[in-house]
């Protein structure tokens, strides 16, 4: 009875949507409104900021970009940002893949929902609150050092707060759900009978995983790595609170140029470099997959 009522109430909605789509110009209107929104409130402000990095108010120039690449301090910050971002992304992948695979293997829908809820909890908590929580846990008299001292792993407290280690821990905690969700969204579309068939043909479980599950889940891995790495390049709050004075990232340097030294040209030049690196990182996998699919079609 309930299903029949649901279908009857959904039919008028479907008819209305079909009638709207049949009206000339509605589809274009549905495209133009979001496009104008993105153009006016996103792309135009970004382009105006970027222009400051290549324009000195009189003519176009590359001196600000050259200054960034020829100043050792700025280069050090750029290298540190990429190094920390790579480290955080790698650790997130090593932690997130097993969890995504565990979600894939769980048969009980109840336990699957429970595990997914635990993964999603960070999304419901403010980034600032999470970072301050890690600040309390990572200090020398925090929970982590107390536990390690109690079980005899260390003899003196570790210096975790205001360091690269603390910065990476905070970044991994933020990126973890994104990695798990990207990988699991691909894994749940993999037919489990493929693994059973591989094991039935004599492959051991680890080999069936290596030859079947791992290659098929690679699109999710690549998506998770790209999202995590791009997000980590722009981290700001985590580095300010958990990182030390020598652990400045590009976003911290940009904020310093805008708020302290008022050097908007160098801030824009750094933003151009950050945006260019992000676009390049996103474009490379698409080019690789396109060439791979083209070769596959030829073969």
Exposure string of 192-226, with b = 16+ CB inside 10 Å and e = fewer, is: eeebeebeeeebeeeebbeebbeebbebbbbbbbb
pLDDT number for residue 175:
92
Say if residue 26's pLDDT is above 70: no
Mean pLDDT over 110-138 rounds to: 84
55 φ, ψ to 5°?
-140, 130
Tokens encoding 141: 């008299």
Say if residue 61's pLDDT is above 80: yes
Highest CATH level, class, for 60-298: mainly alpha
Residue 190 burial by CB count (10 A; 0-12/13-18/19+): exposed, middle or buried?
Answer: middle
pLDDT number for residue 88:
94
Picking from 28-32, 69-73, 125-129, 138-142, which range would have the lowest pLDDT averaged per residue?
A: 28-32
pLDDT band at 93 (very low <50, low <70, confident <90, very high): very high
Share of the chain above pLDDT 70, in %: 87
Q: Are residues 220 and 253 in contact, defined by beta-carbon separation less than 8 angstroms?
A: no
pLDDT band at 92 (very low <50, low <70, confident <90, very high): very high
Say if residue 216's pLDDT is above 80: yes
Tokens encoding 55: 């324009």
Say if residue 55's pLDDT is above 50: yes
Q: Alpha-carbon distance 177 to 132, whole Å?
A: 19
Residues in contact with 273: Cβ distance below 8 Å, sequence separation at least 6, in sequence order: 65, 68, 78, 250
List pLDDT tens digits, range 151-199: 888 888 888 888 888 899 999 999 999 999 999 999 888 887 887 888 7
Q: Are residues 250 and 266 in contact, defined by beta-carbon separation less than 8 angstroms?
A: no
pTM of structure: 0.80
Q: Taking all residues of the chain, what is their mean pLDDT, rounded to a whole number?
A: 81
DSSP structural state of residue 23: S
Domain ranges of the chain: 60-298
């Amino acid at each position: 009875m309930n299903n029949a009522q649901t279908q009857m109430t959904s039919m008028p909605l479907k008819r209305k949507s079909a009638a709207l789509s049949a009206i000339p110009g509605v589809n274009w209107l549905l495209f133009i409104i979001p496009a104008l929104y993105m153009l006016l409130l996103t792309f135009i402000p970004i382009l105006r900021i970027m222009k400051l990095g290549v324009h000195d108010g009189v003519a176009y120039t590359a001196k600000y970009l050259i200054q960034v690449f020829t100043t050792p301090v700025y280069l050090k910050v750029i290298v540190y940002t990429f190094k920390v971002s790579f480290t955080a992304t790698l650790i997130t992948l090593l932690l997130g893949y097993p969890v995504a695979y565990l979600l894939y293997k769980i048969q009980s829908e109840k336990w699957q929902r429970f595990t997914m809820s635990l993964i999603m909890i960070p999304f419901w908590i403010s980034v600032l609150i999470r970072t301050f929580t890690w600040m309390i846990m990572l200090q020398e008299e925090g929970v982590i050092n107390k536990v390690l001292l109690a079980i005899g792993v260390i003899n003196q407290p570790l210096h975790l707060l205001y360091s690269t280690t603390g910065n990476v821990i905070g970044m991994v905690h933020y990126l973890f759900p994104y990695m798990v969700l990207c990988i699991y969204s691909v894994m749940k579309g993999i037919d489990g009978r493929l693994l059973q068939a591989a094991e039935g043909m004599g492959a051991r479980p680890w080999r069936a995983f290596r030859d079947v599950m791992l290659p098929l889940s690679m699109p999710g891995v690549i998506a998770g790595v790209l999202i995590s790495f791009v997000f980590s390049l722009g981290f700001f709050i985590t580095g300010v609170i958990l990182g030390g004075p020598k652990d400045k990232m590009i976003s911290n340097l940009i904020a310093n140029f805008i708020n302290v030294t008022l050097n908007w040209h160098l801030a824009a030049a750094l933003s151009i470099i950050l945006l260019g690196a992000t676009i390049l990182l996103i474009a490379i996998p698409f080019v690789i997959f396109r060439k791979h699919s083209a070769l596959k079609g030829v073969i």
